[in-house]
Structure formats: C-alpha cells, structure tokens
C-alpha cells in the first residue's frame, strides 16, 4: 500500500529532524507570512530557493520531490486561473502579456513555497513528536492521544483494507468494472466489513486502555519532554530575522520585476 | 493466601437473556499458575473481564454473587484502581498497543498513573528486560512480529507491577514457536517474580506443563478444577472437548489396553521417559 507509506515514519536523525517541533512550526508560520506578504516573483523565488538547503540537510530530497510532484496539478491550475483572470480583467498595471505571466508565476510560486515548507515540517517531524508538541502546548491529552492513535492505526487499517479487498475479490467482486458511479458502488462490500471491524477494534482498544489505568490520575506524566536546545534558539532567532527582514523589504524597498530587469 | 475469590458469580450481558456464566465459585491463591480452558463460548473470556473490573464497570449488564480481587470488592472499585492489581493481556496484540514506539507503549500505563518520570524510566527498562525485548524499544508496533507484539503487551502490563496477570488466549494469533516463547516468558514471571498467572489457553499440549492447576469451563459453568494430571485424566474433560495433551491421551489409551504406566504424563518428554522406564523394567 504505497499511498500509506507516508505514515510509516522512518526514524532518521538529522539536525532538522532533531529540532523541536514547535520551533519548526514557528518557522513554517514565518515562511507562510513572508509568502503572503509578497506578490512579486523575485522575493518568492528567493524564498523557494532559500529553503532548499534545509531539505538537503534533512536528507528528504526524494520525499520532498514526491510531494511537490503531487501538488503540481494544483500549481498548474493556479497558474492557469491567474493567467485567465488577469487577462480578462487587465485594467490596472498588468497590461502586457509578460507581466501577466510573471504575476501568475509569482502566485504559483507562493503556493509552492507553502508546499515546500509544510513538506519540510511533516517529513521531518515524527507523529510522536507532534503529539508531544501538541500536549505541551496545552492541548488536552485526550485529543493528542486520539491524534497519535489515528496515525498509529493507518498502516494497520491499510493492511486490513487490502485483506478485505482480496477476500471479496476471491468471492467474485469486481472493483474495476463500470462507470465512475458503478465503481464507487463496487466498494460498498469492502467498506462495510472495514467499518464493522473498525468499530470492533475501537472497543478492544478501549478495553485495553481501561486495563492500563486510563484516567487514573488527573495529572498525567509523560515519559518524554520536549526541551529546547541551543540550536532551537538559533532557529527561532533566524525565523524572527526572516520575518522582520521580509516586513522591512515589503514596506521600504521597491522590488523590481524580473521582466523589467531582463529588458533593461 | 488467596488473591481472587468468587462466590456463586453469575453475569449476564446487557442485550443477552442467558447468563454468559453462572454460579462460578473459585479461589485462586497468590503465586499460583492457573490454566483456564474450555470450548469457545464457554464464558472464560467473560470471566477474565471480571477480574480487573471491565465487568461490571465497562460492560454494564447484571453481575450477581461475590467477587474479591486482592482484597477489593470488584463492583466497589474503579477499573484504574483494580488495573494496578490485575493486569489483563488480550488476544489480539495489535489492538492493545497504542503508541508509535515500544518504549512509549510500555510507559503508557505508568504515565496514566502519573508516576514521576525517573520511576517510569526505571520500570519500563526493567519490564523490557524481563520480557526480553529491550533491543526493540525504539521500534514501531507495526514493524514487529505477532509474538514480539504480544511480548510488548505483556511488558506494558508488567511495568504496572500487578500481583496478578490474566492472559486471554495470548497465543491464538501466533505460530507454535512464538507461542512457546510467550509461555516461557509467562513462566518466568510466575516462577521468578511470584506473579499469580491466569492463562486462558487452548494449546494445552504446550501450556499444561507450566500450570499448577487447571480449570475447565463448559456452557458457562466450571466443570473441572484441580491438578492438571487429575483433570486431564478424567472422562469429563474428554467429553467437554478440550484438547487434552497427547501424552495424557496416550496414557489413557495404553491403560485401556491393559498397560499401566504408573504416573499420568502431561508432556511428550514425560511420556517417553515413562515408556522407556516401563520397557527396561519389562526386559529386566
């Protein structure tokens, strides 16, 4: 089940993986803010390229490429709709075709920058760490537990779905037949056992949780604690500098368009 | 000293009209290794759920009679309190592990109890070592075999340091070798740490040699209760349809044909030993 591979988090160690998830989240927010601040191509390109070293340091180049490829369809749609709407409503300053293209590209790269930073976050943060970060940020434990348990059971459910599909196929179920609606309906004999099994599983889980003193103490301890390291503080400072710099450039410096630079 | 006592215990599930078991009166002593068996649907799983309070607290329904566990009347104490005295290991290892690493899973119960972090760390390491899975502590549950997962489940119960561990068919998802390893771990807990064990099991061939006592249930009642040899040799055990150890069956067959082995064997080793003795005796 390839599409669920993403949930089988591999434990790797890199400076980015070891970073506090809260710090990484701050970084994502800063990049998000910076990407929204600018609407010209040049700064967005800079943001896009500037994040690449992080991907290389984390060693998640291939996974990152995969998620970028996955979002390429959206990127094309964004580009096309921007082109179309700018062309139709070309009052204002976006008269010429090259500047329309540049602006549409800028919007596309804004999206790609977001995809890139979110990929870095999710590819380098283990679900365990994420749950822990939520917990230490004051999210109630019940919710954090539901979150990590959901992730824990994705591979199990995927395997179970495959077993049910195989079993139903052996009984003559044809999944790949008919038009779209027919195909969706074909999945009903797979979904019902999957649902029933999940309900049964959740009951068993609840029993097992009760048997391990769930809710015994209102003040639950946690085996692990997230602690900020020196490198985490550096990352916070870097993120804040990026934010301030981005705001400063946006307010006080006029950014040339790439088309103007090229034609000058 | 007794640790579990039931008197005329009868329980009916909420939607059922017929009791899952009735008039169960058993006493289990501290440090005993009890093997509980019987055909499917005889009520043994339901009985296990009473030991740590899942019945009547988690499942409603009607519980009549008396049940005392570690000096506590089960209906009067919440599950999380009883769970510190009686640990329950379930059939399906997959559905009793919640965390994304073995270590975190073993810590789960202790975290719930709100113990200090140092103590959790110490107990987790101890439980992992006793069950022989210390090397797996950073692995995710889905990376483990069924037998390893079941040992994680045992470790996570063990870490809570209960006096009694109840195992409900812990080997039914495992191959014979995995099952054998589980039995060895359980035996170690019983012999070395003095933990009372109640093992629900169908694989009597493998499990019988560890038990001090065998209880057989059928149709919601306890039909036999005693030393493994006495229970297995009785005609009732055969009638109920539990998988009596083959060594004991051989003994019975030989006896029917007029060959007396002297003692009742339970394991293949014992049987072969006795037959060898009988043969040399005959020749001499």
A206 touches chain B (CB under 8 A): yes
pLDDT at position B224: 94
| DSSP-derived secondary structure letter, B37 | E
In this structure, is residue A221 part of a structural domain?
A: no
For the cut 50, the answer to whether the pLDDT of residue A261 exceeds it is yes
Which of A130, A144, A146, A216 to substitute to test the interface with B, most B CBs within 10 Å?
Answer: A216
Average pLDDT over residues B185-210: 94
Q: Are residues A9 and A93 in the same domain?
A: yes
Determine the Cα angle at B13 with ends B12 and B18, to 5°: 50
Closest CA to B25 of B42, B55, B47, B52: B47
Task: Using CB atoms, pick whichever of B83, B92, B124 lies closest to residue A211.
Answer: B83
- What mean pLDDT value characterizes chain A? 88
> Residue A5: pLDDT band by 50, 70, 90 thresholds?
low
Alpha-carbon gap: A29 to the closest alpha carbon of chain B (Å):
27
CB contact under 8 A, B112 and A219: no
Cα–Cα distance measured from residue B107 to residue B113, given in angstroms and rounded to the nearest whole number? 10
Q: How far is A218 from chain B (nearest CA, A)?
A: 8
Q: Is A26 found in the same domain as A61?
A: yes
pLDDT given for residue B283 in this prediction: 67
| Average pLDDT estimate for A242-258 | 90
Query: Would you say residue A35 has pLDDT above 50?
Result: yes
Please compute the mean of the pLDDT values over residues A27-53 and round it to a whole number: 93
Higher pLDDT, B29 or A154: B29
Does A110 lie in the same domain as A21?
yes
Query: What does the pLDDT read at residue A4?
Result: 54
**Cα–Cα distance between B200 and B236 in angstroms, integer?**
19
User: Does residue A219 form part of some domain?
Assistant: no
Task: Name the minimum distance, in Å, from the CA of B250 to any CA of chain A.
Answer: 40
pLDDT for the residue A18 = 87
Q: What is the mean pLDDT of residues B73-102?
A: 93
What confidence score (pLDDT) does residue B125 get? 97
Q: Is residue B119 classed as helix, strand or coil in its secondary structure?
A: helix
| Dihedral over alpha carbons B220, B223, B227, B228 (to 10 degrees) | -70
Do A197 and A111 sit in the same domain of this protein? Answer: no
Per-residue pLDDT tens for A212-248? 999 898 888 989 888 899 999 999 999 999 999 999 9
Question: Is A223 part of a structural domain of the chain?
Answer: no
Range of the domain at A95: 2-125+228-263
Check A148 against B121: CB less than 8 A apart.
no
Q: Are residues A166 and A249 in the same domain?
A: no
Same domain, A111 and A139: no
Pairing of strands B196-200, B33-37: parallel
B12-18 contacts at long range (C-beta below 8 A, 24 or more positions apart): B12/B61, B12/B62, B13/B46, B13/B59, B13/B61, B14/B59, B14/B60, B14/B61, B16/B61, B18/B220
Task: Assess whether A28 and A69 both reside in one domain.
Answer: yes
A110 and A181 both lie in a single domain: no
Number of folded domains in chain A?
A: 2
The model's pLDDT over A185-222, given as tens digits with 9 standing for 90+, comes to: 889 999 999 999 999 999 999 999 999 999 898 888 98
Report the percentage of chain B scoring pLDDT > 90.
76
Q: What is the pLDDT of residues B135-163, one digit of tens each?
A: 999 898 888 999 999 999 999 999 999 99
- The 3-state DSSP class for residue B264 equals coil
Instruction: Among B81, B98, B158, pick the best mutation site for testing chain A contact (most A Cβ within 10 A).
Output: B98
Angstrom distance (rounded) from CA A55 to CA A62 = 9
Stretch A80-105: mean pLDDT:
81
User: Do the Cβ atoms of A207 and B101 come within 8 Å?
Assistant: no
pLDDT (0 to 100) of residue A70: 86
Percent of chain A with pLDDT over 90: 48
Task: Tell me if A217 is assigned to some domain.
Answer: no
Residues A120, A23 share a domain: yes
- Spatial CB neighbours of A196, under 8 Å, sequence gap ≥ 6: none
Helices and strands (H and E) in chain A: how many: 12, 0
Which residues make Cβ contacts (< 8 Å) with residue A217, sequence separation at least 6?
B112, B113, B114
Q: Among residues of chain B, what percentage have pLDDT more than 70? A: 99
Distance CA B215, CA B10 (A): 17
Residue A166 lies in a domain: yes
What are A64's two structure tokens? 């990152």
Model confidence over B214-232: pLDDT tens digits?
999 999 999 999 999 999 9
Residue A2: band (very low, low, confident or very high) from pLDDT cuts 50, 70, 90: very low
Judge if A32 and A159 occupy the same domain: no
Q: Which of B39-48, B171-180, B202-211, B273-282 has the lowest mean pLDDT?
A: B273-282
Residues from chain A that touch B141, judged by Cβ atoms under 8 A, are: 152
User: A196 and A241 in one domain?
Assistant: no
CA–CA distance, B23 with B216 (Å, rounded to integer): 14
A264: Cβ contacts below 8 Å, ≥ 6 apart: none
Over the stretch B234-265, which tens digit does the pLDDT of each residue have?
A: 888 888 888 889 999 999 999 999 888 878 89
Q: How many CA atoms lie within 13 A of B130 on its CB side?
A: 24
Question: Do A70 and A102 belong together in one domain?
Answer: yes
CA angle B84, B13, B32 (to 5 degrees): 40
Query: Which three-class secondary structure state does DSSP give residue B11?
Result: strand
The pLDDT tens digits for B109-130 are 999 999 999 999 999 999 999 9
Is 60 exceeded by the pLDDT of residue A3?
Answer: no
Among B45, B58, B82, B112, pick the best mutation site for testing chain A contact (most A Cβ within 10 A). Answer: B112
pLDDT at res. A7: 55
Please confirm whether the linkage preceding B56 is cis (ω < 30° from 0). Answer: yes
Chain A positions in Cβ-Cβ contact with residue B14 (cut-off 8 Å): none
Chain A CB within 8 Å of residue B112 CB: yes
Question: Does A128 sit within 8 Å of B104, measured CB to CB?
Answer: yes
């Amino acid at each position: 089940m390839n599409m669920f591979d993403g949930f089988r988090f591999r434990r790797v160690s890199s400076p980015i993986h070891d970073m506090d998830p809260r710090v990484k989240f701050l970084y994502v927010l800063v990049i998000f803010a910076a990407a929204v601040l600018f609407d010209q191509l040049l700064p967005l390109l800079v943001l896009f390229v500037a994040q690449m070293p992080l991907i290389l340091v984390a060693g998640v180049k291939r996974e990152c490429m995969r998620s970028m490829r996955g979002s390429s369809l959206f990127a094309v749609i964004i580009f096309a709709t921007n082109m179309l709407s700018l062309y139709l409503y070309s009052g204002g300053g976006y008269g010429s075709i090259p500047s329309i293209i540049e602006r549409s590209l800028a919007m596309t790269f804004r999206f790609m920058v977001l995809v890139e930073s979110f990929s870095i976050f999710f590819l380098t943060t283990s679900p365990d760490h994420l749950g822990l970060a939520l917990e230490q940020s004051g999210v109630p434990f019940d919710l954090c537990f539901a979150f990590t348990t959901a992730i824990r059971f994705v591979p199990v459910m995927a395997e179970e779905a495959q077993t049910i599909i195989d079993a139903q196929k052996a009984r003559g179920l044809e999944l790949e037949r008919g038009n779209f609606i027919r195909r969706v309906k074909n999945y009903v004999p797979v979904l019902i056992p999957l649902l029933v099994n999940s309900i049964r599983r959740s009951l068993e889980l609840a029993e097992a949780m009760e048997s391990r003193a769930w809710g015994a103490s209102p003040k639950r301890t946690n085996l692990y604690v997230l602690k900020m390291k020196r490198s985490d503080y550096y990352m916070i400072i870097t993120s804040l500098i990026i934010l301030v710099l981005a705001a400063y450039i946006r307010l006080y410096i006029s950014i040339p368009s790439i088309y103007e630079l090229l034609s000058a | 000293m007794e640790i579990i006592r039931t008197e005329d215990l009868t329980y009916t599930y909420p939607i059922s009209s017929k009791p899952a078991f009735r008039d169960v009166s058993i006493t289990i002593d501290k440090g005993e290794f009890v093997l509980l068996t019987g055909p499917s649907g005889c009520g043994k799983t339901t009985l296990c759920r009473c030991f740590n309070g899942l019945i009547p607290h988690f499942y409603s329904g009607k519980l009549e009679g008396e049940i005392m566990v570690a000096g506590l009347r089960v209906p009067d104490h919440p599950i999380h309190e009883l769970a510190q005295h009686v640990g329950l290991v379930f059939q399906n290892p997959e559905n009793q592990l919640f965390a994304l690493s073995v270590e975190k899973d073993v810590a789960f119960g202790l975290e719930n109890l709100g113990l200090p972090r140092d103590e959790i760390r110490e107990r987790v390491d101890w439980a992992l070592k006793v069950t022989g899975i210390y090397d797996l502590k950073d692995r995710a549950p889905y990376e483990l075999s069924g037998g390893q997962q079941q040992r994680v489940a045992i470790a996570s119960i063990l870490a809570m340091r209960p006096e009694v561990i109840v195992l409900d068919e812990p080997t039914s998802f495992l191959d014979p070798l995995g099952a054998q390893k589980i039995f060895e771990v359980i035996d170690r807990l019983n012999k070395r740490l003095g933990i009372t064990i109640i093992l629900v099991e169908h694989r009597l061939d493998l499990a019988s040699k560890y038990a001090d006592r065998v209880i057989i249930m059928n149709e919601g009642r306890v039909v036999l209760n005693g030393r493994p040899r006495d229970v297995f040799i009785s005609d009732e055990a055969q009638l109920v349809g539990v998988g009596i150890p083959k060594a004991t069956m051989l003994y019975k067959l030989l006896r029917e044909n007029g060959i007396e082995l002297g003692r009742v064997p339970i394991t293949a080793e014992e049987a072969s030993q006795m037959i060898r003795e009988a043969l040399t005796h005959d020749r001499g």
